[in-house]
Amino acid sequence: MPFAITRSCCNDAHCVSVCPVNCIHPTPDEPDFGTTDQLYVDPRACIDCGACASACPVDAVFPVEELTAPLAHFAGRNAAFYADRPVGTTWAAPRFPRALPAGSDLRVAVVGTGPAACYAAQTLLRSTEARLTLVEREDVPGGLVRWGVAPDHPSTKRVADVFAWIFRHPRVTLRLGTEVGRDVGLDELRATHHAVLVAVGASDERRLGIPGEHLPGVVAGGDLARWANGHPAAPAPDLTRPRAVVVGTGNVALDVARLLASDPDDLGGDLDPHVRAALRRSAVREVVVVGRRGPSSAAWTESELLALKHLPGVRLVVDDVPGVGDEVAAGAGPAAHLQDVDREAVSWDTDPVGRRIVLRFGSAPRAVLGGSRVQGLALADGTDLRAGLVVTSIGRTARGLPGMPVDAAGAVAQESGRVLEAPGGGVVPGLFVAGWAKRGGSGGIGANRRDAEETVAALVDDALAGRLPAPTAPPPLPLRRRLLRLR
């Protein structure tokens, strides 16, 4: 029996590199790599060797005969990926990363320790003899994997284990609790290193741009995820009312809905004890996920929606507003995932009974209701949703760092990872960017791998061509004294 890849797939292609018959796609050499929800095993070509399952860092690969609900669906999903594409087992030509000659002196500062930063550091360590300084503003490394992945998704968090060796590497110095711009200047890092590679993610939540969104009780989805992961500085959400509203239809929005609507004792993973206790005290019984457009424009992945369909004791329904049923029936894009979900006309005049997640589409937010704090959300169609918590999850934009301009798409202005003086302007020598800061807040963990490799290739090319500025000073004494090495 073949193997199948399931919902916790991180898309970083560890499985592709060990498959002896090249039956896992898209591969990093194919144009749709990084654009699909996950990778897929071709059941016609799989030889049942299990190499992919052993290599998977997030425990996402299983024999088809061992798949039980809610994972049984993925056997058909893997097979369906190959239904209309004749993907063979021919290997692409090998790719070798650009490398520096042995003995080359190269000092690189990497700002951030999330997936993009770690993929960049991994490539640098394997293809050069560079000495790296990793600068992280938090007191623990991990970035998005540590603070942004839902705590009840422990298998996804295990991708961090792939990077653990980096922080202990003899050519790596890890500086935790250090924020660039507050504790050390970007100019200081540039003066003491040949290159600085910034991978700080997309730190700013997009705003709704409606009245009342600054009221207490309005929380950004990323901040709620940080709270759920036990971040000490993340404020606790108000869970004293029976209904919460989440604006957005991406994976973070569904993560929030799942956490708030579930019985906390049914949530697995490494849930912080204080968070679990707060969820046990929570009065929230209904979470309304509001999409500004129709269901065919929803931004979730099928695997995230599938998780909502199998929550113990939680009903998933679609609010049957005009036009939604027809769009679901047409089955275009994400709307096809809702064809087996109950649709009903939801009344908002009474408090919810039982645990429920309601998907409401075609409903643009008009204003956050309330005086001193949130009382609900008013929609453009005249509907008022009474709620004590409004969570916004409509995307993220990069902030960059001082001297790193952000373009209209919400990403640092760059070309092949080289930071530009301005959008369309000249290259800033020795300054590079990777990850969400480079391409905007989209793409999963694995998408950062090829992204980071492109940036490192540009950095190495510049080193070989002599385009990197030489450091003008050694690391200053306070910097040396505060560096932390993990042993």
Pairing of strands 384-386, 374-379: antiparallel
Fold for the domain defined by 207-392: FAD/NAD(P)-binding domain (3.50.50)
Give the closest residue to 259 by CA, choosing from 219, 213, 299, 200: 219
CA distances from 302 to 37, 305, 375 (A): 8, 5, 32
Q: What are the boundaries of each domain within the chain?
A: 3-81, 107-203+396-482, 207-392
| Confidence at residue 481, expressed as pLDDT on a 0 to 100 scale | 40
Question: What is the three-class DSSP state of 221?
Answer: helix
Top-level CATH class of 3-81?
alpha beta
pLDDT at 279: 95
For residues 322, 326, 329 and 335, what is the CA-based torsion angle, rounded to 10 degrees?
-60
Model pLDDT, residue 148: 85
pLDDT < 50 regions, the chain: 477-487
290's CB contacts (< 8 A; 6+ apart) are 245, 246, 247, 248, 360, 363, 365, 377, 379, 385
Asked if 12 contacts 158 with a C-beta cutoff of 8 angstroms, the reply is no
The CATH code of domain 107-203+396-482 reads 3.40.50.720
